[in-house]
Amino acid sequence: MENMLIGVSRITNRLRYIFDLLMVEQLGIGYSFTTDRTVLEAYEGPRLIYGNQPIEGIPFLQSVNLLFEREIVSQEFKTFEFEGLKAIFPVFHKQSVMPFDIFAASFFLVSRYEEYLPFVSDQHGRFEAGSSVLFKIGMLQKPLINYWVQAFGKRLQAIFPGLKVRKKTYRFQLTYDIDASWAYLHKGLIRSAGAYIKDLINADFKEVKQRSLVLAGKQRDPFDTFGYQLEIQKKYKLRPLYFILFAAYGLNDKNISVRNHYFQNLIKYLADYAEIGIHPSYASFDDKALLKEEIKRLNKVLNREVTKSRQHFLRMNLPVTYHNLIDLDIEDDYTMGFAAQPGFRAGIADDFYFYDLDHDAITSLRIHPFTLMDGTLRDYMKLGATEAIFQAEALIREVKAVDGTFILLWHNETLSEQKRWVGWRETFEAIIKAALPQ
């Protein structure tokens, strides 16, 4: 890996973090910083000034102040067209390699800087897609950072002939959230009786009939689609990742009892064919002790440590949620995405380390942004099964264009082929076909 010397006025954690992500991970270009002008001028390899003023004969990228600050303050946004897309944090020096500060702009997005500033949350306490700068500038469904980096890499190669830039490889990751393993089975006498009473009050005799048939063993539980999932896994040679809601029953946490041996056996069965992560409950959102207990229980069932997670309802409060996960030895989180809109919440189609703005420090928690969720298509966007395929294919093309990672979020009940999900198995398989590497 060729090393580039970067001249800066001051070295900060923010600088190290975003240069690691863009230069090393994305472009495959090593780098080192220097604050010594004499050292920079004497360097014979590729070199670049990142700052406010150029030095004659040395390529220059004009910076804004964001990466040299420590505090979290409201940022002034100016948006402009850049190579058919849009960019933020423009700079105006004629000698600048880029017309905007790509490092500051990328840091703002991947650090989720805007989520630390005051905002109006939705009914679940979540930062909404409509509040994001990417949504406001019409770029939420573009992996902007990846495109920016591609352009930056080309400009560096034009300046430094022979400079090698990494060729990335597109990847596809299928993930499932198991919020309710069964619709009717293994709920216990009290929950089942209560459900019957509710159905009778609502005169929903079709539901009463189906529940009775399932409980009598005459019909498969509609949420029990795990056999089909295994067929898909084998057919397309996938290694899915399951996030299991393993929590006490509550208003928004309605999986099977964690003590139920059928549920525990299901988890062990899935673990034979796929990776298992924790789906922290709605109730554990701001309760670290409860989250710890949920992880401990799942660890015990699996007889190994769980290190991956995705929040139930995608409830995330930065930085508290990530602080809790780190403290409980979670290494990878897959929550980064919006419920109401598909696309790229952090502006990137690749995983990255969580940067803790509160402590101004790089952490060990790896963030894996998902691009698309089944409920977004059907429940928020109100798309039909066929329309959903077109939407998914458009996003897949974007990710493939930048050799990123397309992470799909699906649920077992979505594959039931019942009620509002009739026809969605075909949609699911069509999306998988489109998402497979060529």
Co-location of 205 and 155 in the same domain? no
Report the mean per-residue pLDDT for the chain. 96
User: Considering the domain boundaries, does residue 43 fall inside one?
Assistant: yes
Q: pLDDT tens-digit profile of 106-144?
A: 999 999 999 999 999 999 999 999 999 999 999 999 999
User: Considering the domain boundaries, does residue 165 fall inside one?
Assistant: no
Rounded mean pLDDT of 45-62?
A: 97
Co-location of 213 and 87 in the same domain? no
User: Considering the domain boundaries, does residue 39 fall inside one?
Assistant: yes
The model's confidence at residue 377, banded by pLDDT at 50, 70 and 90, is very high
Q: In whole angstroms, give the CA distance from residue 374 to residue 388.
A: 9
Co-location of 203 and 337 in the same domain? no
User: Considering the domain boundaries, does residue 23 fall inside one?
Assistant: yes
Backbone angles phi, psi at 72, to 5 degrees: -110, 110
Co-location of 123 and 101 in the same domain? yes
Looking at residue 409, its pLDDT comes to 98
- Residue 278, pLDDT > 80, answer yes
Co-location of 193 and 176 in the same domain? no
Rounded mean pLDDT of 334-358?
A: 98
Co-location of 242 and 177 in the same domain? yes
Looking at residue 197, its pLDDT comes to 85
User: Considering the domain boundaries, does residue 299 fall inside one?
Assistant: yes
Co-location of 198 and 231 in the same domain? no
Q: pLDDT tens-digit profile of 150-193?
A: 999 999 999 999 999 999 999 999 999 999 999 999 998 778 77
Q: In whole angstroms, give the CA distance from residue 35 to residue 48.
A: 12
Looking at residue 1, its pLDDT comes to 59
Q: pLDDT tens-digit profile of 394-415?
A: 999 999 999 999 999 999 999 9
Looking at residue 266, its pLDDT comes to 98
User: Considering the domain boundaries, does residue 408 fall inside one?
Assistant: yes
**What is the count of structural domains for the chain?**
3
SS (H, E, C) 211-246: HHHHHCCCCCCCCCCHHHHHHHHHHCCCCCEEEECC
Looking at residue 317, its pLDDT comes to 94
Question: Which one has a higher pLDDT value, 353 or 188?
Answer: 353
Co-location of 326 and 340 in the same domain? yes
Co-location of 202 and 236 in the same domain? no
Q: The domain containing residue 297 runs over which residues?
A: 171-183+221-435
**CB of 156 within 8 A of CB of 163?**
yes
The model's confidence at residue 194, banded by pLDDT at 50, 70 and 90, is confident
